Copies of this chain bind each other. A is one copy, B any other.
């Protein structure tokens, strides 16, 4: 196995970075239960809808969520529900 360098960790770092925000963890936790539209997530987190939309873009770029349009609504869902197992585990890590 070749020795690993910084560049081998860029992709995982990107995913971790996407996870590393309280609002995004809250969003992901909500998506774990069910597909949810942006306006519902806005009510959940209490920020401006544009802010929520930006967070969702970050998650999408990291490949953690995907969207499906249904009429006027965009319903977001987890692409890989297992992400939150890490998050829960890390929560325990942090005492």
Inter-chain CA distance A8–B94, complex, in Å, is 12
Provide the main secondary structure of the chain A interface.
Answer: helix
**How many monomers of this chain does the complex have?**
2
Inter-chain CA distance A11–B29, complex, in Å, is 15
Q: Which residue of B lies closest to A45 (CB)?
A: B6
Q: Which residue of B lies closest to A16 (CB)?
A: B20
Partner of A5, one of B26, B64, B89: B26
Q: Which residue of B lies closest to A13 (CB)?
A: B22
Assuming A6-B45, A16-B16, A45-B6, is B11 touching A91 (CB within 8 A)?
yes
Assuming A6-B22, A16-B20, is B83 touching A93 (CB within 8 A)?
yes
